[in-house]
Amino acid sequence: MMIHSLQLPASIYESGITRGNISELAIWLYQLPGNLIMEAIGNLPVLPGLLDIQASASTGYSSLNGTITHALSLLFWVAILLGAISYSSREGKSEPAESMQEPIQQPPHNWVNPPI
């Protein structure tokens, strides 16, 4: 099964990664999660007909890079960003011990009365 979403933009194949192709590559990378989800849904037997999704080799790829795809990509990247922020904020904090009291110093055993 060929996955249409994983094909890099054609200009990258022709001239390699140049300064002009970096924005095109960034857009492709941003849209990749939503395109993969739409293409997976497009290959299921019943769901594409119900949702009017055309994202398979037999029906064409007109639903890729659409509004639903952009929304799915945005949700994916926001979830990744929030997860990274949550993880980094937890990393610096350590769980407090039950009671971090200083140990009580006991007088030496040969110490009877303190000098006055």
Amino acid letter, 85: I
Q: Is residue 114 part of a domain?
A: no
109-to-83, 89, 112, 113, 114 alpha-carbon distances in Å: 56, 48, 8, 11, 12
Dist. CA 60–CA 40, nearest whole Å: 13
Question: In which domain, by residue range, is 75 found?
Answer: 4-88
Q: What single string gives the DSSP state of each residue in 25-66?
A: HHHHHHHHHHHHHHHHHHTSSSHHHHHT---BTTTBSTTTTS
Q: Is residue 99 part of a domain?
A: no
* Model pLDDT for residues 28-70, shown as the tens digit of each residue: 889 889 888 888 877 777 777 777 776 666 666 666 777 888 8
Q: Is residue 115 part of a domain?
A: no
Dist. CA 109–CA 116, nearest whole Å: 19
The count of structural domains within the chain is: 1
Global confidence as pTM:
0.63
> Given a cut of 90, is residue 83 above it in pLDDT?
yes
Q: Is residue 57 part of a domain?
A: yes
Q: Is residue 93 part of a domain?
A: no
Q: Is residue 75 part of a domain?
A: yes
